Structure 1
Amino acid sequence: MTTTAPDVPVRRILRLFRPYGWSLVLVAGLVGLSSLFFLVNPFLIREILDVALPEGRTGLLTVLAGCMLLASVANSSVVVWQTYLSTKVGEQVMHDLRAAVYGRLQRMPLAFFSRTRSGEVQSRITNDIGDMQATVTTTATTLVSDVTVVVATVIGMLVLDWRLTIVSLVMVPFFVWVGRRVGNQRRRITRERQRQAAAISVIVQESLSVSGVLLARTMGRSRSLTDSFTAESRVLSDLEIRSHMAGRWTQATTWIVLASMPAATYWVAGLNGRGGQAAISIGTLVAFTTLQQTLLRPAVSLVEVAVEVQTSLVLFGRIFEYLDLPVDLGEPTGPAPFAKPRGELRLRQVSFTYPGADRPTLSDIDVAVPAGHNLAIVGETGSGKTTLSYLVPRLYDPTSGQVTIDGTDVRDLPAETLAAAVGMVFQETYLFHTSVAENLRFARPDATDDELVAAAKIAHIHDHLLSLPDGYNTVVGERGFRFSGGERQRLAIARAVLRDPPILVLDEATSSLDNQTEEAVTRAIDAASAGRTTITIAHRLSTIRDADEIIVLDAGTIVERGTHAELLELGGHYALLVSREVEVPADAR
């Protein structure tokens, strides 16, 4: 997705902190306490300069000096606890946000992932949320702390001398203007920076995968990909520099203005003291300028916080854009209608059209598959075979019509119940970069070692796994590249068998295999299909000769149906497909 994320209302961001309200109250209390301890010293200094030292009261001097030390120790201790609590709350909010985005994406329909680059999705979860982390964990606390210090300091300054306070605050509108101006600059640059970071994530994810490296090297494109990545990285670096430098000269002016405030204070104090007698005591003047210096850091920090908040609004907008995506495949609210389905499958007048497509991919599909039977689906490329198979586990919902299991519409089944009822083996086998055992247990995390072995034996892969040095603990490599295509397919079959679904969907599981490997995988499929309702999407027709029924799709409609013998005798589409396969030499497949 490349659209510009909308700005997010601050109140929506604040709602993220609602579950941690009491922790935030405690943080605010600690911040206030820290600010009070921090402001004690200037008043102690005034007493030392105006009373203890001039009057030679060493006892009072000792007490005041001790109080200064105790205030510093107390302030440091409070700051440590405040930092711990605020960081904990911030990290919990980040955790909630990451989990919410990931959970939302897990519920998105397959069409979302087919049109969205995986690197873009990864960038939202890692780059965007990662960049927000500092804002959420520290900025909120910094904001509360700085505001508290500023308010308390201004009150202290008013207590000391209201005239000098007014002189010190005349530049407040300037600070507000600086914060808004720099924040708007950073906001625009941040949008560009995050889009560029996402683009780089896409390049890394696609070109540095095993498949990407193999393609680049065999096509001689490694150098050009490196050059392309370097160029994109340079753009990102330039944006990072622009982001960090945005408004720096303006902010430097802010520091200069704040640093000049003590000079203005001394000048005003001198004017008020004309006539031979000072209107403001030395102790008061020193205490006041000390408070001014105390005000310097939080005042500048508030300007920077305002900039960071505006920058973070862009990041929150990108995250909330994902959280606001509509979930097309909603979950039913009622309980599961059955604990263990028999596996009777029915498609009633099913039609399906991809969003934005000019014509339907499937039209008026009506098929009944009794429990335990084997249905094969054949047809030319693009006839709708795979799309039809995706409707059974509800990877898509039909545009019209109904898909039922044991008479229950799949849309009325909870996701976990449907996943337990339907197992799939895809043409492209996906394995995680972990051990064989962990890949199999992805289907059933609680499976025992004996159950793994039983599933592997059904898939005719057990003996091969035992021949490996690490056996079932062998790491398969990224996407299973340490195994051959046939071995990966048999591992996928074992994984599906381990889940023990009553319905098994096989999407062209042998289409890319050589004849010898095809025979091994076919034996595994036959063993896995025993006693199950099986839907086989066939590319090689030799694998479905024994199917209970074969349907032939053409342009999304059923044009023929029957057994292998019946369809051959009919002499239509199926017979033509069989004749083409026979004409292709075995070594050319």
Structure 2
Amino acid sequence: AFFTRTRTGEVQSRIANDIGGMQATVTSTATSLVSNFTSVVATIIAMIALDWRLTVVSLLLLPVFVWISRRVGNERRKITTQRQKQMAGMAATVTESLSVSGILLGRTMGRADSLTNSFSGESERLVDLEVRSSMAGRWRMSVIGIVMSAMPAVIYWTAGMTLQLGGPGASLGTIVAFVSLQQGLFRPAVSLLSTGVQIQTSLALFQRIFEYLDLPVDITERPDPVHLDQIKGEVRFEDVEFRYDGDDTVAPVLTGIDVTVPAGSSLAVVGPTGAGKSTLGYLVPRLYDVTGGRVTLDGVDVRDLDFDTLARAVGVVSQETYLFHSSIADNLRFAKPDATDEELYAAARAAQIHDHIAALPDGYDTVVGERGHRFSGGEKQRLAIARTILRDPPVLILDEATSALDTRTEHAVQQAIDALSANRTTLTIAHRLSTIRSADQIVVLDSGRLAERGTHQELLERRGRYAELVRRDTRLEPTR
């Protein structure tokens, strides 16, 4: 849920820029703080030992300098917060615009110049904030340096006036030694004040990082989770209710869903857009947690299972296939790192993609490109299916895995899906109803509620919502 509402570039910026700034603070600034603080304390002790009255005069303005430094630090902290937000926005813009999909969209929509201008505008705003951050309070810190440089003259004047007025004065040697110590105090004292400013400025970075670190974890493993060695694959939805973010003020996405999917059988979920089909499927692998009722696997609430059991039990093939910018073999082995070449070939054959891979010049070492854009939609989908076959989960979630494909490609992918679904508990979220007619049971969702349930033939005979969806799907179906 966090990643559905957060821009990727924002996360990347906090990892790279904010944590990088924190690292500089913790290393160089902390080291400087310790060494300068030690020097300042030791020098002040020596000055007090020589003449406490001159020491008081020397440090009389120190509280003012500390107050000025805090003001400068607070000012820079506010600017740094704005700067980091701007850097995050710029990183998000770059991530979205310079991806393969972003470039493709910009070129085909004739918006390349607009994207360039947007980047330039973001850069100019960032430059302005960088300059403001560097210059904020600079003249005030310079005044502190000038005043501290003039302090030896103040000491000489004070000592002279004391002697002239007949008071107990310090000897010439004491005054010279005192001024030497004071000059030695100048550099670490100014550095210490500057370090204080840097620490205050860096608090903006710490605040942004802890905004993420302090977020509650949506999906957690129980302290004593259940581990299943043998998984049959029976899935049950028992009076399931779901609301996004657990917000009771909005209508639930799912309400009162009661469905049992016996081990090894198939369930198809159909319904209009926004009916809650994908959400229902995502409750099984715990991409979301139910807000009412429960989802069970072999009679155990999925919230009570350990993550390892869920990962072994449930495989998901979605409409949007994600492939890493790596070789075909590496993408397939993401599901099973220790898979042998023979296992890769067998999975690819089952997904009907082995012959195509073998015909490539580099075979399984072919790099798929950013998000797999070197392959067609059907080829990427079959690679995703091969990856899931290699993992061999007993429960399979198919989230509209063929809805974006043409009829010919869909037929090839569907054959791969049939091979993948064999002897597995399969939950299919369907867009094209022609792909789910052989399902053991079909449920129709409408506005998050269970409207109908039965086999394909039973639902057609009822002439209800499913029959209407089939008629509409048939009219839209192209001639084969």
TM-score after normalising by structure 2: 0.93
Instruction: Quote the residue 1:246 is aligned against.
Output: 136
Instruction: Quote the residue 2:301 is aligned against.
Output: 409
Paired residue secondary structure (1:114): coil
Residue by residue, what CA displacement relative to the aligned partner does 1:47-105 show, whole Å, maximum 9, x if unpaired?
Answer: xxxxxxxxxxxxxxxxxxxxxxxxxxxxxxxxxxxxxxxxxxxxxxxxxxxxxxxxxxx
| Alignment of 1:499 onto 2:391 | yes
Shift of 1:518: 0.7
Tell which deviates more after alignment, 247-256 or 459-468.
459-468
Q: What does 1:388-403 correspond to in 2, within 5 Å? A: 388-403=280-295
- Asked whether the 8 Å contact 2:243–2:254 carries over to 1, the reply is yes
Paired residue secondary structure (1:166): helix
| Alignment of 1:336 onto 2:223 | no
Instruction: Quote the residue 1:573 is aligned against.
Output: 465
Tell me how large the CA RMSD over aligned residues is: 2.1
Report the Cα distance in structure 2 between the residues aligned to 1:537 and 1:435, rounded to whole angstroms. Answer: 30
Shift of 1:287: 4.4
Residues 173, 411 of structure 1: CA spacing in aligned structure 2 closer, same or farther, 3 A cutoff?
A: same
Residue by residue, what CA displacement relative to the aligned partner does 1:8-50 show, whole Å, maximum 9, x if unpaired?
Answer: xxxxxxxxxxxxxxxxxxxxxxxxxxxxxxxxxxxxxxxxxxx
| Alignment of 1:292 onto 2:182 | yes
Shift of 1:267: 4.0
Residues 279, 581 of structure 1: CA spacing in aligned structure 2 closer, same or farther, 3 A cutoff?
A: closer
- Asked whether the 8 Å contact 1:178–1:303 carries over to 2, the reply is no
- Asked whether the 8 Å contact 1:273–1:280 carries over to 2, the reply is no
| Alignment of 1:466 onto 2:341 | no
Report the Cα distance in structure 2 between the residues aligned to 1:471 and 1:266, rounded to whole angstroms. Answer: 85
Shift of 1:131: 1.8
Shift of 1:573: 2.2
Tell which deviates more after alignment, 309-318 or 438-447.
438-447
Shift of 1:281: 5.0
Instruction: Quote the residue 1:70 is aligned against.
Output: none
- Asked whether the 8 Å contact 1:443–1:498 carries over to 2, the reply is yes
Instruction: Quote the residue 1:531 is aligned against.
Output: 423
Paired residue secondary structure (1:113): coil
Report the Cα distance in structure 1 between the residues aligned to 2:49 and 2:175, rounded to whole angstroms. Answer: 12
| Alignment of 1:213 onto 2:95 | no
Instruction: Quote the residue 2:408 is aligned against.
Output: 516
Residue type at the aligned position of 2:188: P
Paired residue secondary structure (1:115): coil
Report the Cα distance in structure 2 between the residues aligned to 1:531 and 1:578, rounded to whole angstroms. Answer: 27
Report the Cα distance in structure 2 between the residues aligned to 1:429 and 1:420, rounded to whole angstroms. Answer: 20
Instruction: Quote the residue 2:198 is aligned against.
Output: 308
1:545 to 437, 453, 457: 437
Report the Cα distance in structure 2 between the residues aligned to 1:181 and 1:572, rounded to whole angstroms. Answer: 71
- Asked whether the 8 Å contact 2:296–2:302 carries over to 1, the reply is yes
Residue type at the aligned position of 1:427: Q
Report the Cα distance in structure 2 between the residues aligned to 1:138 and 1:258, rounded to whole angstroms. Answer: 24
1:280 to 171, 195, 216: 171
Residue type at the aligned position of 2:448: G
Residue type at the aligned position of 1:381: T
Instruction: Quote the residue 2:270 is aligned against.
Output: 378
Report the Cα distance in structure 2 between the residues aligned to 1:569 and 1:515, rounded to whole angstroms. Answer: 27
Shift of 1:531: 1.4
Q: How many residues align?
A: 475
Shift of 1:585: 4.9
Residue by residue, what CA displacement relative to the aligned partner does 1:111-153 show, whole Å, maximum 9, x if unpaired?
Answer: x222222222222222211222211112122111111000111
Residues 333, 291 of structure 1: CA spacing in aligned structure 2 closer, same or farther, 3 A cutoff?
A: same
Tell which deviates more after alignment, 522-531 or 223-232.
223-232
Report the Cα distance in structure 2 between the residues aligned to 1:256 and 1:117, rounded to whole angstroms. Answer: 47
Report the Cα distance in structure 2 between the residues aligned to 1:290 and 1:301, rounded to whole angstroms. Answer: 18
Tell which deviates more after alignment, 166-175 or 284-293.
284-293
- Asked whether the 8 Å contact 1:493–1:528 carries over to 2, the reply is yes
Shift of 1:456: 1.6
| Alignment of 1:256 onto 2:177 | no
Residue by residue, what CA displacement relative to the aligned partner does 1:276-324 show, whole Å, maximum 9, x if unpaired?
Answer: xx96355x55544433232111111111111111112222111111111
Residue by residue, what CA displacement relative to the aligned partner does 1:204-246 show, whole Å, maximum 9, x if unpaired?
Answer: 1111111111111111111112112211221111111111111
Shift of 1:182: 0.7
Report the Cα distance in structure 2 between the residues aligned to 1:303 and 1:178, rounded to whole angstroms. Answer: 9
Shift of 1:161: 4.2
Q: What does 1:414-453 correspond to in 2, within 5 Å? A: 414-453=306-345
1:319 to 186, 189, 209: 209
Residue type at the aligned position of 2:22: M
Report the Cα distance in structure 2 between the residues aligned to 1:483 and 1:505, rounded to whole angstroms. Answer: 23
Report the Cα distance in structure 1 between the residues aligned to 2:111 and 2:32, rounded to whole angstroms. Answer: 49
Residue type at the aligned position of 1:205: T
Q: What stretches of structure 1 of length at least 5 have no aligned partner?
A: 1-109
Q: What stretches of structure 2 of length at least 5 have no aligned partner?
A: none
Residue by residue, what CA displacement relative to the aligned partner does 1:423-455 show, whole Å, maximum 9, x if unpaired?
Answer: 000110111122222222222223232222222
Report the Cα distance in structure 1 between the residues aligned to 2:175 and 2:332, rounded to whole angstroms. Answer: 76
Paired residue secondary structure (1:343): coil
Shift of 1:558: 2.1
- Asked whether the 8 Å contact 1:459–1:493 carries over to 2, the reply is yes
Q: Percent identity?
A: 64
- Asked whether the 8 Å contact 1:269–1:280 carries over to 2, the reply is no
Residue by residue, what CA displacement relative to the aligned partner does 1:453-499 show, whole Å, maximum 9, x if unpaired?
Answer: 22222211122111122222221111111111011111111111222
Report the Cα distance in structure 1 between the residues aligned to 2:448 and 2:170, rounded to whole angstroms. Answer: 95
Report the Cα distance in structure 2 between the residues aligned to 1:422 and 1:247, rounded to whole angstroms. Answer: 58
Q: What does 1:340-379 correspond to in 2, within 5 Å? A: 340-355=230-245, 356=247, 358-379=250-271
Shift of 1:569: 2.7
Report the Cα distance in structure 2 between the residues aligned to 1:173 and 1:320, rounded to whole angstroms. Answer: 31
Shift of 1:367: 1.0
